[in-house]
Chain A
Amino acid sequence: MNIFRALTQKPWLPDEDDSIVEIHPDGAVVLHSAKIALRIFLAVVATLFSLFMAAYYVRMEVPDWRPLAEPGLLWVNTGVLFLASVALQWTRQATYGENLTQIKLGLLAGMTLTLAFLGGQLWVWQQLMADGYYAVGNPANAFFYLITALHGVHIAGGLFVWIRTATRVWRGAEAYQIRLSVELCTVYWHFLLLVWLAVFWVLLST
């Protein structure tokens, strides 16, 4: 659908053959409603993280800013989150087949890797605190804890949905019944991976 064509229609002109009734309203039914809603939600989340990043750069200008150490573990976590994304993508492919074992394997792999990422992030926190990087000590630390916490909360929310989907499979749902949920989760995970890469890049470069 061409949005500009839709917005330049002249709705007051009579429809010669009433043909507009036969076509679907522009825009609708191209995508499932849940997918549209997820996209809008991702736009909201993207705005949220962009604003944190903007605040980060503004606050950095003040001379009391002391960048914090970047534990090597963060690289490992990034890899784990990437693998989680791959696992979800693989599960998504599996839902188009009938092999339930594959699907279950994918669901478990996705869950384990995501939990590993969250655990790894907490471990990073512990390392930093052991080294004396407290949130109140410096705005750089505070931003790090805040943004990683927020990212973690978003991941945890997705994980909740993922586990609910998995429960349905173990209770006997067929592949086609969970296809949509798995697909939505997959898109969400890819998006959060991108957010994490952006956050990580900002941390490394400042």
Chain B
Amino acid sequence: MAYVAIADQGQELHDPQSFITKYIWSQDHKVIAIQYSITAIAVGLVALVLSGMMRLQLGFPNSFSFIDPQSYYQFVTMHGMIMVIYLLTALFLGGFGNYLIPLMCGARDMVFPYMNMMSYWIYLVSVLVLMASFFVPGGPTGAGWTLYPPQAILPGTPGADGGIVLMLVSLALFIVAFTMGGLNYVTTALQARTRGMTLMRLPLTVWGIVMATILGLLAFPALLVSAIMMLLDRTLGTSFFMPAILSMGNQLDYNGGSPVLFQHLFWFFGHPEVYIVALPAFGIVSDLLSVHARKNIFGYRMMVWAIIAIGGLSFVVWAHHMYVSGMHPYFGFFFATTTLIIAVPTAIKVYNWVLTLWKGNIRLNVPMLFAIGFVFTFINGGLTGLFLGNVVVDLPLSDTYFVVAHFHMVMGVSPILVVFGAIYHWYPKMTGRMLNETLGKIHFWVTFLGTYAIYYPMHYLGFLGLPRRYYALGDTSFIPDSVATLNASITVAALIVGVVQILFIYNLIVSLRKGKPSGGNPWQATTLEWQTPQTPPVHGNWGPTLPVVHRWAYDYSVPGAEEDFVPQNVPRDVVASEAD
């Protein structure tokens, strides 16, 4: 029987009828992607402002009356939680995943469009619930983004009344939304690929996003379990995590619960979460480097295998976040070993990125700058990770600014640089217009250099023993006076980096109308999303027939070809006859 792709089998396409079904209550993966992205960026800006407030207090202690210890801890907590989950996870998977998976696989839409739509709306509710916690009595929770019990739900912690409850409910909703979206991303990549699109012809972007989704599907249940059990401890008074404890002189009704159990559950989610954010970044940056260096990605198969290996290993390293909680030495030894092993596939990826650039015909445009910036930053953050993976090094450094510097470099700045690069790269496909190049370059250089001005000094502060999480340092003899100066300079750098993001938002909005028309394939890229008949792609993506794939995604600078790239849907004999 002749093969008919699923998307060719007379699938209903739910053609939108009105403005509301087209742009708001939409089942089109591209509209949902943009809804996800706008929501994530909006909530991310809130988190950015919060980080600015934290830096004001740290750089210029006690100069601002609106930042007291309570609100400081609330800023820290909300900044961390929003950035990791509601911005990065949602933007990479809900935003880029939604937009790129069907287009790159050559499908007309996600396999379950209705569920995809529900995924966005539940995500939106989870964001609204989270934001509502700013307005309840007591404000949002200030328990730190890890929400460790017992202090997370004890009186005295900011937001122990309503804030923590809303946070846990919001997380549970987010997990439901993510599961709906995640089932779609994986099933679409498995089932709806067009003819000729074998697994190994998929662009690495799809590999990264799909693997991250699988990690999310298996890791978020751990967060759900801990959120539900903590919610019951808080509301019903069960003792899953709460030990017998005195609070303000009174014996509470809790008894026997295990706070360390929570830490295990949390980090069983929390460590894969790092890779949920990192793997899509790995995939996207591989494609950006290849396109803008006009070279095929170095070691494609190795890149795919590394993504799979990292995904598997990420489930057996979680306890390296808990060395300071105390554990059996062999247990620590095991997790230190696995942590160092995971550096191997990661290093393979870094070498391959550098080798892709080697002798490439590099076009230093804005997406490429961000991609190269990512490689630098990721190497920095990754190397300090090797330090911290060792128990004896981690113990003295764990509660210092060294760790703040490490994880911001590796899972804050690095993925955000990729997010920016990816937006500059795919914005022309989403809107049909280019972003302003000059503004983009200013945005890049200030952001890139600025983040180094912020986080490099923090490594040094960490070596000095400067404790993290502190609202104010007070008189501490081992901390030299110069620390205050350094902290002030970090704050100035952070504020500059924060403000320059306005330029980026301005560029996004103004280019929508005034940007240079981009045409269908401004970067001369090979992957399918650039070969759509219309730009931006219309509902159904491909017109009457689906594209047929004849080659892998990285045919750049092919000898004999007329141009320096051959799109995936060009048959072999066409290229051959051009060469004759």
Known: A28-B192, A47-B221, A142-B238. A20 touches B228 (CB 8 A): no
Interface residues in A42-98 by Cβ distance below 8 A to B read: 43-44, 47-48, 51-52, 55, 58-59, 62-65
Min CB–CB distance B510 → chain A (angstroms): 40
Residues 197-230 of chain B: 1 if any A CB is under 8 Å from the residue's CB, otherwise 0?
A: 1111100000000000000011001101100110
Of A6, A11, A24, most B-chain CB atoms within 10 Å: A11
Q: List 29 A-B contacts (CB under 8 A).
A: A9-B198, A11-B201, A11-B300, A12-B296, A14-B551, A18-B572, A20-B196, A23-B3, A25-B193, A26-B198, A29-B191, A33-B112, A33-B187, A36-B187, A36-B190, A40-B187, A43-B218, A44-B179, A44-B218, A44-B221, A48-B225, A55-B240, A58-B264, A59-B257, A63-B256, A135-B236, A135-B238, A142-B236, A146-B232
Query: In the complex the two chains form, what is the Cα distance from A24 to B193 in whole Å?
Result: 9
Answer yes or no: B183 CB below 8 A from chain A CBs: yes
Min CB–CB distance A48 → chain B (angstroms): 4
Query: In the complex the two chains form, what is the Cα distance from A143 to B199 in whole Å?
Result: 43
Query: In the complex the two chains form, what is the Cα distance from A29 to B5 in whole Å?
Result: 8
Answer yes or no: B305 CB below 8 A from chain A CBs: yes
Q: How many residues of A contact B (CB 8 A)?
A: 46
Query: In the complex the two chains form, what is the Cα distance from A23 to B194 in whole Å?
Result: 11
**Cβ contact within 8 Å between A136 and B237:** yes
Answer yes or no: B454 CB below 8 A from chain A CBs: no
Answer yes or no: B73 CB below 8 A from chain A CBs: no
**Cβ contact within 8 Å between B218 and A47:** yes
Q: Pick the residue among B197, B201, B217 that contacts A40 (CB under 8 A).
A: B217
Answer yes or no: B383 CB below 8 A from chain A CBs: no
Answer yes or no: B548 CB below 8 A from chain A CBs: yes
Known: A48-B225, A59-B240. A33 touches B111 (CB 8 A): yes
**Cβ contact within 8 Å between B112 and A37:** yes
Answer yes or no: B195 CB below 8 A from chain A CBs: yes
Q: Which residues of B contact A18 (CB under 8 A)?
A: 550, 571-573
Q: How many residues of B contact A (CB 8 A)?
A: 60
Answer yes or no: B22 CB below 8 A from chain A CBs: no
The 10 closest A-B pairs by CB, nearest first: A64-B256, A11-B552, A48-B221, A142-B238, A9-B200, A21-B196, A11-B200, A25-B193, A62-B256, A24-B3
5 further A-B contacts with Cβ under 8 Å, apart from A55-B225, A146-B229, are A36-B191, A37-B187, A44-B218, A51-B225, A52-B225
Q: Pick the residue among B5, B184, B257, B551 that contacts A139 (CB under 8 A).
A: B257
Of B184, B191, B195, most A-chain CB atoms within 10 Å: B191
**Cβ contact within 8 Å between A21 and B550:** yes
**Cβ contact within 8 Å between A58 and B238:** no
Min CB–CB distance B266 → chain A (angstroms): 11
Known: A7-B200, A44-B221. A12 touches B552 (CB 8 A): yes
Q: Which residues of B contact A15 (CB under 8 A)?
A: 550-551, 572
Interface residues in B379-394 by Cβ distance below 8 A to A read: none
Query: In the complex the two chains form, what is the Cα distance from A20 to B3 in whole Å?
Result: 12
Answer yes or no: B186 CB below 8 A from chain A CBs: yes
Interface residues in A142-185 by Cβ distance below 8 A to B read: 142-143, 146, 150
Which residues of A come within 8 Å of B, CB atoms? 6-12, 14-15, 18, 20-29, 33-34, 36-37, 40-41, 43-44, 47-48, 51-52, 55, 58-59, 62-65, 135-136, 139, 142-143, 146, 150
**Cβ contact within 8 Å between B200 and A25:** no
Q: Which residues of B contact A40 (CB under 8 A)?
A: 183, 186-187, 217
Q: Which residues of B contact A41 (CB under 8 A)?
A: 179, 183
Answer yes or no: B563 CB below 8 A from chain A CBs: no
Query: In the complex the two chains form, what is the Cα distance from A29 to B222 in whole Å?
Result: 32
Q: Which residues of B contact A21 (CB under 8 A)?
A: 195-196, 548-550
Which residues of B come within 8 Å of A, CB atoms? 3, 5-6, 111-112, 179, 183-184, 186-187, 190-201, 217-218, 221-222, 224-225, 228-229, 232, 236-240, 253, 255-258, 261, 264-265, 268, 296, 300-301, 304-305, 308, 548-552, 554, 571-573
Query: In the complex the two chains form, what is the Cα distance from A201 to B369 in whole Å?
Result: 58
**Cβ contact within 8 Å between A139 and B191:** no
Query: In the complex the two chains form, what is the Cα distance from A29 to B239 in whole Å?
Result: 48
**Cβ contact within 8 Å between B228 and A11:** no
Query: In the complex the two chains form, what is the Cα distance from A10 to B304 in whole Å?
Result: 12
- The chain B residue sitting closest to A11, CB to CB, is B552
**Cβ contact within 8 Å between A28 and B190:** yes
Q: Which residues of B contact A142 (CB under 8 A)?
A: 232, 236, 238-240
**Cβ contact within 8 Å between B256 and A136:** no
- The chain A residue sitting closest to B571, CB to CB, is A18
Of B186, B236, B268, most A-chain CB atoms within 10 Å: B236
Q: Pick the residue among A12, A20, A34, A55 that contacts B300 (CB under 8 A).
A: A12
Query: In the complex the two chains form, what is the Cα distance from A149 to B269 in whole Å?
Result: 23
Q: Which residues of B contact A11 (CB under 8 A)?
A: 198, 200-201, 300, 551-552
**Cβ contact within 8 Å between B253 and A22:** no
Query: In the complex the two chains form, what is the Cα distance from A12 to B255 in whole Å?
Result: 62
Q: Which residues of A contact B5 (CB under 8 A)?
A: 24, 28
Min CB–CB distance A28 → chain B (angstroms): 5
Q: Which residues of B contact A14 (CB under 8 A)?
A: 551, 572
Min CB–CB distance A30 → chain B (angstroms): 9
Query: In the complex the two chains form, what is the Cα distance from A21 to B549 in whole Å?
Result: 7
Min CB–CB distance A161 → chain B (angstroms): 13
Q: Which residues of A contact B264 (CB under 8 A)?
A: 58
Query: In the complex the two chains form, what is the Cα distance from A9 to B199 in whole Å?
Result: 9
**Cβ contact within 8 Å between B3 and A139:** no
Q: Pick the residue among A27, A48, A136 that contacts B199 (CB under 8 A).
A: A27
Min CB–CB distance B65 → chain A (angstroms): 42
Q: Which residues of B contact A139 (CB under 8 A)?
A: 238-240, 256-257
Q: Which residues of A contact B112 (CB under 8 A)?
A: 33-34, 37
Q: Which residues of A contact B301 (CB under 8 A)?
A: 7-8, 10
- The chain A residue sitting closest to B217, CB to CB, is A44
Query: In the complex the two chains form, what is the Cα distance from A130 to B225 in whole Å?
Result: 28
Q: Which residues of A contact B183 (CB under 8 A)?
A: 37, 40-41
Min CB–CB distance A144 → chain B (angstroms): 11
Min CB–CB distance A92 → chain B (angstroms): 22
Min CB–CB distance B498 → chain A (angstroms): 37
Q: Pick the residue among A12, A20, A23, A136 that contacts B238 (CB under 8 A).
A: A136
Q: Which residues of A contact B217 (CB under 8 A)?
A: 40, 43-44, 47
